[in-house]
C-alpha cells in the first residue's frame, strides 16, 4: 500500500508540566482511563457540571446516525447556567468581563450586571415578538452587548446566528436569508485600527435584501450618525428600559442553540447547527480541563472574535458557565502600538491566554521587544487554535510570552465539533512543540488511510472521529443531505474532518493542514504544514504559506510564499541569498523531496477574516490562473501585491 501522507518533520523537544500546576490541576491522568472505561458514563458525569431542570433519560441516542441526540429528555436553560446560578451562589459581585475598548475606554461587568442586562434583553426581544425557535442575527463589534445578545437569545430559546462584524453586506444578507432571521442586533459601529467603522450602514444594505427581518436593534457604541428607518430601534431605548426581572424557562437538551457559518477557508460557508445540553457540557468541561481554569483566581483572555466558534465556546459559553473572570478586547493588536496585547495582559494580570497562530507569527514578525516591554509574569497557561502551530512559533510563544515555563496547549477543533477535541492537558501532558498530542478524555480521534484503516505510529493520513461527542454539530442548517455528504460519506461510520494528520512514533497527533492542500510531488504526498514549519524554523522567517503548483517533471512542485522577520534585509542580493538559503534549509530539514522549486518573499499573506491562510488563492497565483472566490478574504489588495511580485520574480529553478 502506498503512503497516504509523508512524515518528514522530526521533533524531539518535550516540555513537562510545571510541578505545582500538575499537582493542583483540575484534570489529571486518571480522566483518560475513566473515560475509556465508560465513555457515556464519563460524559454523563461532566454534564453534572451544569444545572438541569430535568435529568435526561438517556445519555446518547445514536440509533439514527449521523443524527445524534445527547442527554435525551433532559431540560436546561443555557443562560441560567451561565449567569443565574452564579448569582444565586453569592457570586453576583464577581467580575465576569473586564472590557477594554480600543480607544482605551473600559467597562467592568459583574455577574449580577451581566445577568440584569441579559434579562432586559430577553424581555425586549420577547416584546419584539421573538419566540423560542426563531432566529436572531447578531452583527456586533467586540462589546459586552455581543455576549448579552447571545445569552438573551439562549435565555428565551431563540437560535442566534452571529456574523463576524467584518463581513460585507452580501455575506451578512446571505447568512440572514439562509437562516430566515427575524431580528438583527447590531451597533452604529465599532472601533478598529483607531477609527470608528460603520456597521449599521452595512446592515441597512443587507437588510434591504432580507424580507424576513422585522426589527433592527442598534447598540450605540461610537455615536456616529446613522440612517434611521421604521424597523430600527435603539438598544438603550428598548433593552435598557426593560425590566431586569426575567425567569428563564428550561429547554430540551436538543433545542437549537445557535447556527454558525464556518469561516470559509475552503468554500461556501456552511450553517453549522449546535444544540443545547451536549454543547454546553463539552464547552464547559473542556474550558475547565484544557485551561485548568480556577474561577476564583484566574483572569482568562481569549482574543478571538465573538463571530467565530472560538468566541462562542471560549468567550461566552465555556467561561461563563464556569464562572470565570475574563478580559474582552474590542480592537486590533497594533492600536495604538504593537504592544497593546501585552499591555492588556499586564494591566489585568491575565493568567490564561488563548490566541491563534496567525497572531503569534505576526508578533514574531514585529519583534521580541514588544512583549519584553510588558510584565507578563501573571501568565500560567497559553493556548493556540485555528491552524497548525509551527514548532518554532510554539517555542517563540512559550519563550517570549510564557517566560519559558508555561504549558502551551495546542487545541484542535472546528466549528463543527463545537468544542476542543484534541489537546494536551496542561497538568498532565509533556507537550511537544507543534503537536496537539492526544484526543481529550471521552473523545476518540484517529488517523486513517484511504481505505479507512488506522495508520500505524509514524504514519500519516486523514483525521477522523470514530465516536459521536456531546458538542458535535447536529446538521447543516436546512440541508441534512449536505451534512451527511460532507462529513460522513468519505469513511464508513466515521466523521471526516477534512484535515490531514500524522501519528508520531509515540502515537501523538500532528495536524498537517487540510487534505485539499496536500501536495503530490514525485509520487509523495507532502503536507503544506511540514514545509511551512521547516521554513518558519529558519531564524529569518516569521510566516510561510506553501502550495503545490503543476510541474511538468514532478507532477506538482512546491512554491513557498514567505514573510521575513522584521529585522531581516531582503533587498536585492541579500534577498536572493536568503531565498537560496531557505531552499537549502528546507531540503536539509525535511529531505530533498521537499525542497521548494520557488520561494517568494512577501510582506503579507492572503488570510480569511479569522486569520487563516487561504492557500487556494496562492495556488491560483502560482499556476498563473485568475483568482477564485475572494469574498472571505481579509484584505483583497494583498493578492494584487503577491501576483505582481510573482510576475516579476525570475524563476529560480535549478
Ligand atoms: P471552512 O470549513 O468554511 O473551510 P474553516 O475550516 O477554516 O472554514 P473553522 O471551523 O473555523 O473554519 O476552522 C476549523 C479548521 O481550522 C480545522 O478543520 C483545521 O483545519 C484548522 N485548525 C483549527 N485548530 C487547529 C489546530 N490546533 N491545529 C491545526 N489545525 C487547526
Ligand atoms: Mg472547515
Kindly report the protein residue whose alpha carbon is nearest to atom 1 of ligand 1.
Answer: 264
Residue 471 lies in a domain: no
Q: What's the mean per-residue pLDDT of the chain?
A: 95
Do 503 and 456 touch, CB atoms closer than 8 A?
Answer: yes
Which string of DSSP letters, residue by residue, matches 48-92?
Answer: TTS--SB--SEEEE-SSTT--EEEET-EE-HHIIIIIHHIIIIIT
Total residue length of the chain: 654
Model confidence at 641, pLDDT cuts 50, 70, 90, reads confident
Quote the domain boundaries for residue 616. 538-645
> What is the pLDDT at residue 649?
56
Distance of alpha carbon 327 from alpha carbon 348, whole angstroms: 8
**Average pLDDT estimate for 468-472:** 98
**Cα 377 to averaged position of ligand 1 atoms, centre (Å):** 30
Contact 530, 560 (CB under 8 A): no
Q: Which ligand neighbours the alpha carbon of 413 most closely? A: 1
Q: Is the per-residue pLDDT at 150 higher than 50?
A: yes
Instruction: Determine the Cα–Cα distance for residues 279 and 411; give it in Å rounded to an integer.
Output: 17
The whole-number pLDDT of residue 266 equals 61
Residue 634: inside a domain, yes or no? yes
Q: Is residue 292 part of a domain?
A: no
Residue located nearest, by CA, to atom 19 of ligand 1: 387
Say yes or no to pLDDT of 540 above 60: yes
pLDDT, tens only, 283-341:
999 999 999 999 999 999 999 999 999 999 999 999 999 999 999 999 999 999 999 99
The ligand 1 site (C-beta within 6 Å) comprises 262-266, 269, 308-309, 385-388, 410-412, 414-415, 436, 497-499, 511, 514, 610, 612
Assign 567 a pLDDT band (cuts: 50, 70, 90). Answer: confident
**Residues 423 and 436: beta-carbon distance below 8 Å:** yes
Beta strand 159-162 with 189-192: parallel, antiparallel or unpaired?
A: unpaired
User: Which of helix, strand or coil describes residue 197?
Assistant: strand
C-alpha cell at 308: 467565530
Q: What is the mean pLDDT of residues 384-402?
A: 97
- Residues contributing to the annotated binding site for CoA: 192-195, 310, 522
Query: Reduced to 3 states, what is the DSSP secondary structure of residue 327?
Result: strand
The pick from 431, 438, 499 for probing ligand 1's pocket by mutation, whose C-beta has the most ligand atoms within 8 angstroms, reads 499
- Band (pLDDT 50/70/90 cuts) for residue 485 is very high
Reference 181, options 142, 138, 235; nearest CA is: 138
C-alpha cell at 143: 462589546
pLDDT at 642 over 90: no
**What is d(CA 564, CA 541) in angstroms, rounded to the nearest whole number?**
4
Pair 207, 215: CB distance under 8 Å: no
Whether residue 188 is contained in a domain is answered as no
Task: Indicate yes or no: pTM above 0.85.
Answer: yes
Cα 511 to averaged position of ligand 1 atoms, centre (Å): 10
Name the residue at shortest CA distance from atom 30 of ligand 1.
387
Mean pLDDT of 517-545: 95
Assess if residue 627 is contained within a domain. Answer: yes
Cβ 199 vs Cβ 141: under 8 Å = yes
Q: What is the pLDDT of residue 265?
A: 63
- Mean pLDDT across the stretch 516-531? 95
Which H/E stretch holds residue 188?
A: none
Which residues line the annotated binding site for Mg(2+)?
536, 538, 541
What are φ and ψ of residue 653, in 5° steps? -60, 145
Ligand 1 centroid from CA 612, angstroms = 8
Would 310 be classed as within a structural domain? Answer: no
At residue 267, the pLDDT reads: 61
| Ligand 1 atom nearest to CA at 416 | 10
Q: For the beta carbon of residue 296, count every other beta carbon within 10 angstroms.
A: 10
Stretch 197-206: mean pLDDT: 97
Measured from the Cα of 270, ligand 1's closest atom is 3
Domain holding 622: CATH number?
3.30.300.30
- Closest ligand (CA of 383): 1
Give the DSSP letter of residue 454.
B
533 torsion bin: left (phi>0), alpha (psi -120 to 50), beta (else): alpha
CA of 262 to the centre of ligand 2 (A): 6
Atom in ligand 1 nearest the alpha carbon of residue 511: 29
Please check whether residue 556 lies inside any domain of the structure. Answer: yes
Question: Rounded distance, CA 304 to CA 157, Å?
Answer: 25
449 in Cβ contact with 491 (< 8 Å): no
416 CA distance to ligand 1 middle (Å): 9
- Rg over CA atoms, the chain: 24
- Summarize pLDDT for 73-94 with one digit per residue, the tens: 999 999 999 999 999 999 999 9
Residues at the annotated binding site?
A: 192-195, 310, 386-388, 410-415, 499, 514, 522, 536, 538, 541
Please give the residue that has the higher pLDDT: either 566 or 628: 566
Complete DSSP assignment for 146-174? HHHHHHHHHHHTPEEEE--TTS-HHHHHH
Whole-angstrom Cα distance, residue 123 to residue 133? 16
By percentage, how much of the chain surpasses pLDDT 90?
Answer: 90
Q: Is residue 403 part of a domain?
A: no
pLDDT of residue 650: 42
- Angle in degrees, 0-180, between the axes of helices 144-156 and 111-127, rounded to the nearest 10: 60
What would the mean pLDDT of 16-28 be, rounded to a whole number? 98
From the alpha carbon of 266, which atom of ligand 1 is closest? 4
Which residue minimizes the CA distance to atom 23 of ligand 1?
Answer: 386
Number of domains in the chain: 1
- Residue with CA closest to ligand 1 atom 16: 386
pLDDT beyond 80 at 411: yes
Amino acid at each position: 500500500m502506498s503512503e497516504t501522507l509523508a512524515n518528514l518533520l522530526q521533533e524531539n523537544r518535550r516540555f513537562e508540566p510545571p510541578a505545582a500546576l500538575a499537582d493542583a490541576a483540575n484534570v489529571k491522568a486518571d480522566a483518560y482511563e475513566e473515560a475509556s472505561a465508560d465513555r457515556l458514563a464519563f460524559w454523563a458525569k461532566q454534564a453534572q457540571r451544569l444545572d438541569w431542570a430535568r435529568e435526561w433519560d438517556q445519555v446518547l441516542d445514536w440509533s439514527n446516525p449521523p443524527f445524534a441526540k445527547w442527554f435525551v429528555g433532559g431540560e436546561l436553560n443555557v443562560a441560567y447556567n451561565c449567569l443565574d446560578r452564579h448569582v444565586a451562589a453569592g457570586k453576583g459581585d464577581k467580575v465576569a468581563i473586564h472590557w477594554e475598548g480600543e480607544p482605551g475606554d473600559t467597562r467592568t461587568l459583574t455577574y449580577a450586571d451581566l445577568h440584569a442586562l441579559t434579562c432586559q434583553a430577553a424581555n425586549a426581544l420577547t416584546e419584539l415578538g421573538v419566540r423560542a425557535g426563531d432566529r436572531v442575527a447578531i452583527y456586533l463589534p467586540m462589546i459586552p452587548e455581543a455576549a448579552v445578545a447571545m445569552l438573551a437569545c439562549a435565555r428565551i430559546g431563540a437560535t442566534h446566528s452571529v456574523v463576524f462584524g467584518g463581513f460585507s453586506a452580501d455575506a451578512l444578507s446571505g447568512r440572514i436569508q439562509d437562516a430566515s432571521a427575524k431580528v438583527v442586533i447590531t451597533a452604529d459601529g465599532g472601533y478598529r485600527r483607531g477609527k470608528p467603522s460603520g456597521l449599521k450602514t452595512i446592515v441597512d444594505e443587507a437588510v434591504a435584501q432580507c424580507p424576513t427581518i422585522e426589527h433592527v436593534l442598534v447598540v450605540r457604541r461610537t455615536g456616529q450618525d446613522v440612517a434611521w428607518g421604521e424597523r430600527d430601534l435603539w438598544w438603550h431605548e428598548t433593552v435598557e428600559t426593560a425590566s431586569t426581572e426575567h425567569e428563564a424557562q428550561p429547554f430540551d437538551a436538543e433545542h437549537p442553540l445557535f447556527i454558525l457559518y464556518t469561516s470559509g477557508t475552503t468554500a461556501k460557508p456552511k450553517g453549522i447547527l449546535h444544540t443545547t445540553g451536549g454543547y454546553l457540557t463539552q464547552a464547559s468541561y473542556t474550558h475547565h480541563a484544557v485551561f485548568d481554569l480556577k474561577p476564583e483566581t484566574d483572569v482568562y483572555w481569549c482574543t478571538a472574535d465573538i463571530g467565530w466558534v472560538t468566541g462562542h465556546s471560549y468567550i461566552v459559553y465555556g467561561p461563563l458557565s464556569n464562572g470565570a473572570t475574563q478580559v474582552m478586547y474590542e480592537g486590533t493588536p497594533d492600536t495604538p502600538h504593537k504592544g497593546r496585547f501585552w499591555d492588556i495582559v499586564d494591566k489585568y494580570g491575565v493568567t490564561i491566554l488563548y490566541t491563534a497562530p496567525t497572531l503569534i507569527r505576526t508578533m514574531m514578525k514585529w519583534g521580541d521587544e514588544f512583549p519584553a516591554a510588558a510584565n507578563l509574569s501573571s501568565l500560567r497557561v497559553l493556548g493556540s487554535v485555528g491552524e497548525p502551530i509551527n514548532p518554532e512559533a510554539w517555542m517563540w510563544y512559550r519563550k517570549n510570552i510564557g517566560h519559558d515555563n508555561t504549558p502551551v496547549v495546542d487545541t484542535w477543533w472546528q466549528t463543527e465539533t463545537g468544542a476542543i477535541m484534541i489537546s494536551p492537558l496542561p497538568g498532565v501532558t509533556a507537550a511537544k512543540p507543534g503537536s496537539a498530542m492526544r484526543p481529550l478524555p471521552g473523545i476518540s480521534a484517529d488517523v486513517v488511510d484511504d481505505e479507512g484503516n488506522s495508520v500505524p505510529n509514524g504514519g500519516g493520513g486523514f483525521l477522523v472521529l470514530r465516536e459521536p461527542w456531546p458538542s458535535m454539530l447536529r446538521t447543516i442548517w436546512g440541508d441534512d443531505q449536505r451534512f451527511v455528504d460532507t462529513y460522513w460519506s468519505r469513511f464508513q461510520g466515521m466523521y471526516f474532518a477534512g484535515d490531514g494528520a500524522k501519528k508520531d512514533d509515540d502515537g501523538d497527533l500532528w495536524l498537517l493542514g487540510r487534505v485539499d492542500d496536500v501536495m503530490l510531488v514525485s509520487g509523495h504526498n507532502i503536507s503544506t504544514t511540514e514545509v511551512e514549519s521547516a521554513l518558519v524554523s529558519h531564524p529569518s522567517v516569521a510566516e510561510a504559506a506553501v502550495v503545490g503548483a503543476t510541474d511538468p517533471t514532478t507532477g506538482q512542485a512546491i512554491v513557498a510564499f514567505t514573510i521575513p522577520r522584521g529585522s531581516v534585509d531582503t533587498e536585492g542580493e541579500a534577498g536572493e541569498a536568503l531565498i537560496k538559503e531557505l531552499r537549502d534549509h528546507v531540503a536539509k530539514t525535511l529531505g530533498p523531496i521537499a525542497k521548494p522549486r520557488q520561494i517568494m518573499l512577501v510582506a503579507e499573506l492572503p488570510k480569511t477574516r479569522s486569520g487563516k491562510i487561504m492557500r487556494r488563492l496562492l495556488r491560483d497565483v502560482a499556476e498563473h490562473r485568475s483568482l477564485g472566490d475572494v469574498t472571505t478574504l481579509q484584505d483583497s489588495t494583498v493578492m494584487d501585491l503577491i501576483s505582481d511580485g510573482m510576475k516579476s520574480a525570475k524563476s529560480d529553478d535549478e
